[in-house]
Amino acid sequence: MNKYFSLLLLFLLTLSKITAQEPAPNLLNRRWRADWIAPQNVNLKDFGVYHFRKNFELSQKPTQFIINVSGDNRYRVFVNGNYIGAGPARSDLMHWNFETYDIAQYLQQGKNTIAAVVWNFGDYMPVAQMSNKTGFIVQGNSTIEAVVNTNKTWKVTQNKAYKPIPVDGAKLQTYIVVGCGEEVDASKYPFGWEKTDFDDKSWEIAKTLEAGYATGSGSGAGWYLVPRTIPQMEEIYQPLKEIRRFSNISDANMTDKWLKGTGVITIPANTKTTILLDQNFETVAYPEMTVSGGKGASIQLMYAEALIDDKRQKGNRNEISGRKMIGNADIFRPDGAIKRTFKTLWFRTFRYIELEIETKADPLTINSFYGLKTGYPFEEKASFSSKDDQSLSNIWKVGWQTARLCGGENYFDCPYYEQLQYTGDTRIQALISLYVSGDDRLVRKALTDFDNSTISEGLTQSRYPSNTPQLIPPFSLYWVSMTYDYWMHRKDDKFVKSLLPNVEKVLAWYERKFDAQKNMLGPVNWWPFVDWAKPWQWDEMAGIGGVPSGATKGNSSILSFQYAYTLRQAAAIFETYGQKDKAIYCRTLADLISKSTYELCYDATKGEVADTPEKKAFSQHANIMALLSNSVPKANEKAIMDKILNDNSLIQATFYFKFYLTQALKKVGMADRYHGTLQPWRDMINMGLTTFAEKEEPTRSDCHAWSASPNYDFLATICGIMPDAPAFEEVLIQPALGILDDAEGKMPHPQGEIKVNLKRKGKTGISAEINLPQNLKGRFVWNGKTEPLKGGKQTVSID
């Protein structure tokens, strides 16, 4: 490995090791001393990339130097050339995040420089990005750090090297809203702008916009500031794996050593070439390329999850023969200098990258090209395995990769197309996070984001943060379910109580849709999405899809059952916090809806619940929600579940709603059937997918975390580990091995770690080695028999 690359790798491995700090208390409730600053004489709502700098002197190196930083849309901040962090974590203008850093380790006696790149993608910004206008702010934590407060002592320049490349949704023939690509002309780029010795004499004085204000303070502001509650995103060196094909370059010249950091490739003068690179798995990363020479050349980088054939089908994701790239792209134009580095401002999602290079009179050398893998820094603390079925280990691995790529500063539905946090997806993602990592910070942020999104009608927005409002009423119910899940898994009473006012508003919105004649829901407006089931096609005129019979016209059994299901969850929370009257009301209303909807929609001839009282359409979804809402008489539960599993004439659930299918299996005591539902996940892996797709083939997104539910259910269903009391203060272990003879799993718990090792004992028995946190008690259930559990190691044996 060459010396240059060794030093670079060492830098990347130590990138931004600053840990989160606490802001000064007086910054949380009042006006800041610092001002928001911006460039002069530009439209602050237009596309633009800007650099800010502040030089200052220190009489000695400090032991602590804490600053608070934010920007609009985004910033990356440096101290004496060292990368410190990025932000702000995505949010809305009433809850605009700022980050707090202790930068003392990077300061020195004498001259120091704080520098930041701030960009605003303007009309091309992602839908997930909210914005006021271009701005940047730094506030020292105390009078000592006030020397760096943003004001007219800061300097700024516009980086005119950048142009936006609009994402071509028409070309991709899909909805894609992740923001623009970047075209960068190195001849206009102020390289070294972040370093102390950079000459900034030509830069202009920044103008001040307004003071910084903490949320809840002041008489009016463009941004109301709140402290970031999640860690910085990781950035980890990730080499590209292989060259799959290339054109117009000799085999001798084309070597993969440049991908490994041990060599270079040179593209001759006056050459057009296309190079297809394969990461071998889908990833989310900042592509970083260093080149030399190549003045006047153009390098286009195109990104895709998979290649497509002439019919626009993906097929096996490993195959490239007869297939082409279609995707979003960036362009870098070298200036001919030595070792110029291009790195995108925002990350890209890809398995494949296609380089389309055209050189002029100057040959181009590519010194290195790799990714900086990024995302929320989840740690995989859980594990699962079964000697009986090795495919489950692959499903676990691919599922966790899917969940990781769909976790950033908020949860993503998908990292390639949208990067939007949808409640329907997020409920499943949150459970995966709690079970596999134990990290609840992103879960809390998601709950808070949706709480903040509530509109005057009483609904939470279906995706948030989002600069384009969208309302999917069933997703508001899932936000209530998310609140219930969090309450069951974490002791966080003050936080949960803070969500209850909007929980009541959501439930009240639905009550206003109540059809008192039938005791079901009447027409539900906005977008009553349930699932991407094939018969529920997109309606171009209405602009919605995935909508079952009765949802918009009234008396949908699916939505009525979901409302009853959610009322029961809300009742449990209300009762715990002493609001018994509300709990009784919710349960009474749920009972009324359950009874009436079941009686009106149950078809005795078919033995199934219909989607509406007219009994013309039947779906898995209606029957699943009937079971989950306690609407089916106990004696009929298993018969209906058999219909769900075996009647192919029912409208079938996609990967998303299969999560609720599993919940229903557990509800009726048929969880042993779960293992038999996993073939679609094996099929995806056999198709070369390295993450789980949005839905069955053909699919838009190859990475959709709602399809990673096995990472939750392997532990919660096969191993059977579930909270048996609010805050997970007691545990229920009720394994469902199916055809497996063994299973082993472990997961983080607020008090420590839960471990189970399960082995069948004869035809009907089980032997279990269990290790619980010392103060955790619970029960073990198998074939109707119950054994008490206590803290520590123990063995349970049931014949």
Task: Compute the distance between CA of residue 40 and CA of residue 464 in angstroms, rounded to an integer.
Answer: 32
As assigned by CATH, the class of the 17-160+188-231 domain is mainly beta
Q: Three-state SS for 208?
A: strand
Average predicted confidence (pLDDT) for the chain: 96
List, for residues 349-408, the tens digit of each pLDDT value.
999 999 999 999 999 999 999 999 999 999 999 999 999 999 999 999 999 999 999 999
pLDDT at position 183:
98
Rounded to an integer, the average pLDDT of 151-157 is 98
- Do 723 and 731 contact (CB within 8 A), yes or no? yes
The H-or-E segment that residue 734 falls in is none
- Residues 649 and 610: beta-carbon distance below 8 Å: no
Asked whether the beta carbons of 465 and 412 are under 8 A apart, the reply is: no
**In this structure, which CATH number among 3.20.20.70, 3.40.50.300, 3.40.50.720, 2.60.420.10 belongs to the domain 719-799?**
2.60.420.10
Q: Which residue ranges does the chain devote to CATH 1.50.10.10? A: 513-677
pLDDT, one tens digit per residue, over 109-124 is 999 999 999 999 999 9
| pLDDT at residue 249, as a whole number | 86
pLDDT surpassing 90 at residue 598: yes
CATH number of 235-375: 2.60.120.260
Task: Identify the pLDDT of residue 18.
Answer: 67
At residue 171, the pLDDT reads 82
Q: Range with the lowest mean pLDDT among 18-32, 268-282, 580-594?
A: 18-32
For the cut 70, the answer to whether the pLDDT of residue 14 exceeds it is no
Quick: pLDDT tens for 335-352.
999 999 999 999 999 999
Is the Cβ–Cβ distance between 711 and 437 less than 8 Å?
no
Residues of the chain with CATH 2.60.120.260: 17-160+188-231, 235-375
Span 682-713, pLDDT tens digits: 999 999 999 999 999 999 999 999 999 999 99
Where residue 425 falls (left for φ over 0; alpha for ψ -120 to 50; beta otherwise) is alpha
Ranges of CATH 2.60.420.10 domains, the chain: 719-799
Query: Is 70 exceeded by the pLDDT of residue 493?
Result: yes
d(CA 283, CA 240): 10
Would you place residue 781 in the very low, low, confident or very high pLDDT band (cuts 50, 70, 90)? very high
The beta strands (E) that lie in 381-450 are given as 383-385
The structure tokens listed for 721 are: 């580990």
Q: Phi, psi (5° rounding) for residue 598? A: -65, -45
Please say whether the dihedral angle defined by the alpha carbons of residues 319, 325, 326 and 327, taken in this order, is positive or negative: positive
Which residue shows structure tokens 């995706």? 463
How high is the pLDDT of residue 12?
47
Is 546 in contact with 530 (CB distance < 8 Å)? Answer: yes
Distance CA 713, CA 707 (A): 11
What fold is seen in the domain 513-677? Glycosyltransferase (1.50.10)
Give the whole-angstrom CA distance, residue 233 versus residue 75: 13
Q: Per-residue confidence at 455, pLDDT binned at 50, 70, 90?
A: very high
Kindly tell me if the per-residue pLDDT of 7 is higher than 60: no
Mean pLDDT within 30-42: 97
Mean pLDDT, rounded, for 92-118? 98
Specify the residue for token string 């903490």.
Answer: 214
